[in-house]
Amino acid sequence: MPPPVTARATTRSWLIWLTAAFVYVLAVFHRTSFGVAGIEAAERFGVGAAALGTFTVLQIGVYAAMQVPTGVLVDRFGPRAVLSAALLFLGLGQVLLAVAHSYALGLVARGVLGLGDALTFVSVLRLAANHFPGRQYTLVTGLTGALGFTGNLAATVPLALLLAGPGWVPTFLAAGLVTVLFVAVVQWRVRDTPTARRVPPQRVPAREVGRQVLAAWRVPGTRLGFWTHFTTPFGQNVMVLLWGVPFLVDGQGYSTTAASGLLVVFVVGAMVGGPAVGGLTGRKPELRMPLVLGYLASLGAVWTVLLSWPGRIPVAVLVPAFVVLSLGGPASMIGFALARDYNPLRRVGTATGVVNVGGFVATTVTALLIGVLLQFSGGNYRIALLSVVAVLLLGAWRIGVWYLRARAAVFAAQARGEDVPVQLRRRPWDGPVRRDDRVAAAA
């Protein structure tokens, strides 16, 4: 188990993180900007709702596919270089969208933007792993996620006012150019490690890259982080990115304005919950998985209420339900803490990328399943949203499996006298230490 890179975070560490986190704010702004630009996009590109939905699926797909390669790139070239590349892709994508008039070019633009978005979050977390001790890492990841939601807020009313005023081309062109210019700030302020502005690129053969990914995947802590990230945030994601407004308007009979207002609960809940969960689990890391398991039980209760409520669900029920769902993002940050704790530092970026795939795979699969079930059920949202329950049950089962295996790996390391990030006490449900767990713990 690797020791922390630094024993104490300095003021410069916080300023470096803040600069990098603002890149993530820009990424979230660009990611969610289509939420209020949908009507203008449909008119500009001359497409219907189905073709418009392809923009979202494409972007999520690119994001998910790029997470493991991003982790490898961060480990090889350092977070400073990858963050700079992310800004260039984000800016280029938004500039292309500003000047695009054809649907095909619009898709290319969102694909390029999705690539830039994919390079951002893992880079920020790798930077945090370099500059902050383990006890603060979970807090910093929670703060990063919470800060990212300010980009989501900027992509709502402020962006809508700009589109209604200056219009499509000036708004997106300015957003793209400002993003590109921020590269200079990253190059000036960000340092890869406390002792070096830039880490020399590591020459790694292609075969070794594959071994590195496989080595990260074999660690029980990484696998537990993957399934934690798979299971906790996808319910919130599918509601915010695609199906929240249709569910409330078509399924529950609320106005579009009321539906949009209810979705703000997700933003506020995540912004408050991120630092709270991060601070608590940073001080008491032994509470990480009990919190995840408790949260899964809460999700089961929420979806039971939402899908069994007779008639229209009142606001007094929807608001607390959405508050619980909004905590999925903060809870998913625990997965990154697991990746950081149970992998050597040289492999943390790769392991973080592996973990980050989970939530976006679950989001993509669930979003598509909801659409298919809506079509075959004649627009019945109670039936369609059962896909959320199915994916939740799958994730909860795999979390249970890998929680036990990760605990066994820690017990094996403790038995060998090794340092472990969290001291565990054997419980009745912990089986005997297996030979393959001993091997995994030594990885």
Per-residue pLDDT of the chain (443 residues; tens, 9 = 90+): 343 445 567 888 899 999 999 999 999 888 878 766 766 787 888 877 567 667 777 887 888 888 888 888 888 888 999 999 999 999 999 999 999 989 999 999 989 999 999 999 889 988 988 888 877 887 888 888 888 878 877 776 778 788 888 888 999 999 999 999 999 999 999 988 887 677 665 666 666 777 888 888 999 999 999 999 999 999 988 887 778 878 888 889 988 778 877 888 888 888 888 888 888 887 888 888 999 999 999 999 999 999 999 989 999 999 999 999 999 988 998 998 898 888 887 788 888 888 988 998 898 888 888 888 888 888 899 999 999 999 999 999 999 999 988 888 888 877 777 777 777 777 777 766 555 544 444 44
Q: Phi/psi of residue 347, each to 5°?
A: -115, 5
H or E element: which one contains 262? helix 256-283
- Three-class DSSP category at 202: coil
CATH superfamily entry for domain 1-190: MFS general substrate transporter like domains (1.20.1250.20)
Distance of CA 194 to the CA centre of its chain: 26
Architecture of domain 209-443: Up-down Bundle (1.20)
Spans of all domains in the chain: 1-190, 209-443
**Cα dist from 308 to 152, 243, 248, 386, 412, whole Å:** 31, 18, 15, 11, 45
CA atoms within 13 A on the CB side of 48: 1
Q: Do residues 422 and 406 make contact, with C-beta atoms less than 8 angstroms apart? A: no
How far is 75 from 204, CA to CA, in rounded Å? 10
Q: Note whether 421 and 340 are within 8 A (CB).
A: no
SS3 annotation, 49-61: HHHHHHHHHHHHH
Do 1-190 and 209-443 agree at the fold level? Answer: yes
Cα angle 156, 160, 163 (rounded to 5 degrees) comes to 145
